[in-house]
Structure 1
Amino acid sequence: MILTLTLNPAIDMNYQLGHLTINQVNRCGRVIKTAGGKGLNVTRVLKCVNAEVLATGFLGGKTGEFIADELDHAGVSHHFVTIKGSTRHCLAIMHEGNQTEILEDGPSISGDEAAAFLREYDRLLDQATVVTASGSLPKGLPKTFYQQLIERAARKNRKFLLDTSGESLKAGIKASPYLIKPNQDELAALMGEEAAGEAGLVASARRLAETGVRFIVVSLGKKGALGYFNGRAFIAEPPAVQAVNAVGSGDSMIAGLAYGIDRGLAPEEALAYGAAFGTLNAMEARTGYVDQAQVEAFKKKIAIRTVG
């Protein structure tokens, strides 16, 4: 079973506008509301391909109830810890080929709520084979919280896939997660310098591997991703497609990686699924969705090449 962590979920509100006019009334005829947060995007994509997946994290207030109801309606298994604060909203405005986002901070987690989550997490780890953790930490939790979760997973020999940024990522790396997935900007912030070309990306990945992270994946957007595992580097390149909604494509890549890793596939094959899931999500209007009927055929179109 794949256990997905969404510690700072949200109701994602996607407004589809032909044109956004600042300081004027903008009317929107199409609004998509989903149970959101990066980890829940991962969860939904895994559900699309019938993977055994269970979601956990924190939920609170009426917004939390909405998310739980949406997951129930979709048949997604979940065990969230209830908190006093209200789960947040996040707004994405699609306009003129652009995407403008407004993200609420979300609730603050108390010490008792964090302790309750750790007890639930330890119990769920007994059922899991792979763990994914995506997105920011909510207020109230220490920057080392992901680090704690990775250490607990390691004690039970569970593979932990960490997709976050900033101080949470730096702290998490200290616990040697199985996989991290920074994009190029996040990699530059992590390493303190821009990586120049493919050679620079490989050099940065090699340095990260020295910290004990087994599998480094650098997201390259529509160009796919670079993988580094056990001293070898490779790139998964998807074919060019017409993107409809790229929101959640990075999360879909994590879902594909988890899907491949959970099946015991080679890193190159897992990365091919990651690139396939990420690209297929971008072809859909819905966030965190892939068409299962297209997965295997599209995955065969992903070109894997070695980077020397």
Structure 2
Amino acid sequence: MILTVTMNPSIDISYPLAHFRLDTVNRVADVSKTAGGKGLNVTRVLAECGENVLATGLIGGTNGQFLLDHLPSGVQPFFYTIQGDTRNCIAILHEGQQTEILEAGPTVSAAEADGFLHHFRLLMKSAQVIALSGSLPAGLPVDYYARLISIAKEEKRRVVLDCSGKALEAVLQSDCKPTVIKPNREELSQLLNREVSADLEQLKSVLSDPLFAGIDWLIVSLGADGAFAKHGSTFYKVQIPTIEVVNPVGSGDSTVAGISSALQHAKEDESLLKQAMVLGMLNAQEKITGHVNLANYDTLYQQITVKEV
């Protein structure tokens, strides 16, 4: 069983407009609303791949109920209810551009933060792989992911972490490390306070930095250039085919779903990396965020190369 954790979920609202005009009325005929947040994108893709998924996180208010009502079929919800209302995130799609209006979300109380830690500990009995994704809501301490990872590690669970900024820094500076992190080059540059290029030798040096000691898998997204990965002391370059990109949003979350699924089934290194890349590409080929068409899976899988470097 895979447990997905979304600490700051949202109702994702999409407004497609032929033309977006400021300081006047814009009428939208085709509105879509989905249960969103990075962790729920991971959840959706895992469910579409046929995995057994538990979904948890913080929800509240009428938006929280909407989220529960719109979870993917087959997903088991074990969310923790808080007083604040789950946030809305609005995307205005216009003239080939995307303008986003993102609510900060509720402020979580200290009692609610402690309550979720207990709730999370109980869920360890049912899950073997934990996927932690996205931002932390206001009120949670910056080291909250580190606390969750500590609980998971006590139970000898494997953890895939996809976050950035101060929350990721706190994890890297803690004693309990996740099994996998999936930064991109920009996030690596922020962590190390220096520019990180796609040069393979530089990436080897970067991923060997003591900051990442204790993390089993480091998988760096390189966009259209595929990925660079370190597993233990072994480095890999992953080359992917050129595809027609329809909507890249959520591709990183789909990659996390692929990593989590591969860990759940104890796949070898090459298979893990290929599955992760395929699901990310399949998401990019779809209009809907956090959705994959598995009919194209095998074709793309065969076009990916993984080389030890």
The CA deviation at 1:24 is 4.4
**Inter-partner Cα distance in structure 2 for 1:170 and 1:67:** 30
**Inter-partner Cα distance in structure 2 for 1:208 and 1:297:** 39
**Inter-partner Cα distance in structure 2 for 1:70 and 1:14:** 15
Amino acid at match of 2:251: S
Change in CA separation of 1:278 and 1:11 when aligned onto 2, cut-off 3 Å: same
Counterpart residue number, 2:178: 177
The CA deviation at 1:297 is 3.2
The CA deviation at 1:210 is 4.7
* Contact persistence 1:209–1:216 (CA under 8 A): no
**Inter-partner Cα distance in structure 1 for 2:205 and 2:23:** 46
Counterpart residue number, 1:5: 5
**Inter-partner Cα distance in structure 2 for 1:52 and 1:288:** 17
Amino acid at match of 1:302: I
Counterpart residue number, 1:192: 193
**Inter-partner Cα distance in structure 1 for 2:268 and 2:84:** 42
The CA deviation at 1:262 is 1.0
Q: Show structure 1 runs of 5+ residues with no match.
A: none
Counterpart residue number, 1:232: 234
* Contact persistence 1:261–1:267 (CA under 8 A): no
Q: Show structure 2 runs of 5+ residues with no match.
A: none
Counterpart residue number, 1:35: 35
The CA deviation at 1:224 is 2.3
Alignment identity in percent?
Answer: 43
**Inter-partner Cα distance in structure 1 for 2:110 and 2:86:** 17
Counterpart residue number, 2:307: 305
Change in CA separation of 1:215 and 1:32 when aligned onto 2, cut-off 3 Å: same
1:123-182 superposed Cα distances (whole Å, 9 cap, x missing partner): 111111110100000111100100001111111111111100111001112221111111
SS in 2 for 1:197: coil
The CA deviation at 1:209 is 6.8
**Inter-partner Cα distance in structure 2 for 1:164 and 1:208:** 19
* Contact persistence 1:208–1:216 (CA under 8 A): no
**Normalising to structure 2: TM-score of the pair?**
0.94
* Contact persistence 2:240–2:305 (CA under 8 A): yes
Counterpart residue number, 1:14: 14
The CA deviation at 1:58 is 0.5
Change in CA separation of 1:98 and 1:157 when aligned onto 2, cut-off 3 Å: same
Amino acid at match of 2:229: G
The CA deviation at 1:286 is 1.2
**Inter-partner Cα distance in structure 2 for 1:95 and 1:223:** 28
The CA deviation at 1:208 is 5.3
**Inter-partner Cα distance in structure 2 for 1:204 and 1:190:** 11
1:237-269 superposed Cα distances (whole Å, 9 cap, x missing partner): 322111111111110010011111111012332
1:296 equivalent to 2:295? Answer no
* Contact persistence 1:222–1:279 (CA under 8 A): no
Amino acid at match of 2:187: E
Q: How many residues align?
A: 306
* Contact persistence 2:8–2:105 (CA under 8 A): yes
Counterpart residue number, 2:150: 151
**Normalising to structure 1: TM-score of the pair?**
0.94
The CA deviation at 1:281 is 0.5
State how 1:2-151 maps to structure 2 within 5 Å.
2-71=2-71, 74-151=73-150
SS in 1 for 2:186: helix
The CA deviation at 1:273 is 0.9
Amino acid at match of 1:150: I
Question: Which deviates the most, 156-165 or 91-100?
Answer: 91-100
**Inter-partner Cα distance in structure 2 for 1:208 and 1:34:** 40
Question: Which deviates the most, 243-252 or 11-20?
Answer: 11-20
Amino acid at match of 1:26: N
**Inter-partner Cα distance in structure 2 for 1:210 and 1:144:** 16
* Contact persistence 1:227–1:234 (CA under 8 A): yes
Change in CA separation of 1:93 and 1:223 when aligned onto 2, cut-off 3 Å: farther
